[in-house]
Amino acid sequence: MHTLISFTTEPHFFIAAKKRLDTLMQGKNIVFIEPYGAALSLLKHGVRKGYNIIILTADQDLRVVPSAILMLAALAIKIDTTDEVAILQLAEILQKIININAVIPGFEYFVPMTARLNDYFGLPSMRYADALKVRRKDLMRVSLQKAQLFLPRFSIVNSIAQVQQAITNMMFPLVCKPIDAAGSVNVRKANNHAELMISVKRILDGNDILWGHRLSTMALIEEYISGKEFSLEGVVHNHEVTHFSLTEKFVADQTEFIEIGHIVNVPVPAQLKSILESYINRVISVLKINNCPFHAEVRVQENGQPVLMEIAARLAGDSIGELICLSGAENYFDCIYAAYLQEGRAEKSLVHSVAGIRFFYRPTICSYSSVNGIDKIQDASIKEILLYYTPNQVIPAFPKPLRRLGHVIVKHHDYAELVKTLDIIDTKMVFLS
């Protein structure tokens, strides 16, 4: 069993790390920064392929890696993963001991640091400045606007005094969001000026820290785009884009946009799929996303025009990667590793079914004593039912996605039956206080 080694620049850390890493005889050496969610599945897939995994984690707040995952690592290091100086000091030490073949972000907040480390190790990757343009929604919008891509009207504000001028050429409803959060944190729809001011003040006066990152006190205000929401998942390998899934999105409401479900490989007309993929290919080209997976969220207007909500240079969260593999694209994770490692490009496998996840989102529940219905759910298409909290455990109020109390994953050959099954199971799950 491997335990965390606390990072220090003192000689004893070098000796301990070298002792662990000197036992590695062969295989690729891959660093994961704060593996979480889908990145845990990617990490485990890498272990099965014989890769040597090095984990960096702060081991505090939301940055805690499960002990079962730490046991899989060749080396697990406790370090403040938001401290760029310390991370680069660690990189210098690791470089003296072992060749690093890839650095992978475990979550959205660590994409720029990943680019910084890949550059330090001389590995093919996005440039740090380009990673920031993907990570920060304000820079993303400005870059795509300059390239004349179709976008919502938007403005960026850092004071209440700027709001009125910022929305002069926009009409309600509007959406207000932080420039650098993830998971729909502090994203709200405003139907009027009063609602907008509440949302803006929440961001400008905020003191939120997520995954060790203090959120910026700048707000992005943009037009609300109606229409069906999808995400596109794929891989960019040496500037060549491969699309793996068109994913249907489900949100709790059109006010806070908390995602409550996804269906991968959703059937849509071929023309729409082609339009969406071409639009995202252009976004990827402008933002210079390369040698990594991507996760792009779009809405499709009534006239068929896709509009980008955001794009990330990382694996999609919410088990979407696992759903893609479950639906039939078994080598999705292989293609991601091929991009990070600059190995021969893996061929896309055929998809034979649809797969979906439904979260048990109960925003008003602070804790529960028991769950009714879970013992009555029996369906051959169910692949997993998981609860995140134990009875009487306090459920965090912030960020709101943590009020998703668990999930069910279903695989089916028929889209309509899949949707029906997810709905029925969600209804049957009753959390008692």
Confidence of residue 144 (pLDDT cuts 50, 70, 90): very high
Q: What is the mean pLDDT of residues 2-13?
A: 91
Q: Which amino acid is at 96?
A: K
Pairing assessment for the beta strands 29-33 and 52-57 based on DSSP bridges: parallel
- Single out the residue of 430, 263, 426 nearest to residue 360, CA to CA: 426
- Single out the residue of 227, 391, 193, 361 nearest to residue 298, CA to CA: 227
- Cα separations (Å) of 397 from 305, 340, 363, 367? 36, 36, 8, 10
What percentage of the chain reaches a pLDDT higher than 90? 83
Q: Which residues contact 132 (CB under 8 A, 6 or more apart)?
A: 112, 139
Length of the chain: 433
Q: What is the pLDDT of residues 98-137, one digit of tens each?
A: 999 999 999 999 999 999 999 999 998 899 999 999 999 9
Q: Kind and range of the H or E element at 87? A: helix 84-97
Q: Are 319 and 37 in contact (CB under 8 A)?
A: yes
pLDDT higher than 70, residue 1: no
Which domains are present in the chain? 5-123 (3.40.50.20), 153-223 (3.30.1490.20), 353-433 (3.30.470.20)
Q: Are 378 and 423 in contact (CB under 8 A)?
A: no
Q: Which residues contact 100 (CB under 8 A, 6 or more apart)?
A: 29, 30, 31, 54, 91, 94, 121, 123
Largest CA distance in the chain: 64
Q: What is the pLDDT of residues 69-83, one digit of tens each?
A: 999 999 999 999 999
Q: What is the pLDDT of residues 325-372, one digit of tens each?
A: 999 877 899 999 999 998 877 677 777 789 999 999 999 999 999 998
Residue 263: helix, strand or coil by DSSP?
Answer: strand
Burial of 207 (0-12, 13-18, 19+ CB in 10 A): exposed
- Single out the residue of 409, 426, 416, 423 nearest to residue 320, CA to CA: 409
Q: Which residues contact 412 (CB under 8 A, 6 or more apart)?
A: 353, 354, 355, 381, 418, 421
Rg (CA), the chain: 22
Sign of the Cα pseudo-torsion (169, 172, 177, 182, in order): negative
pTM above threshold 0.85: yes
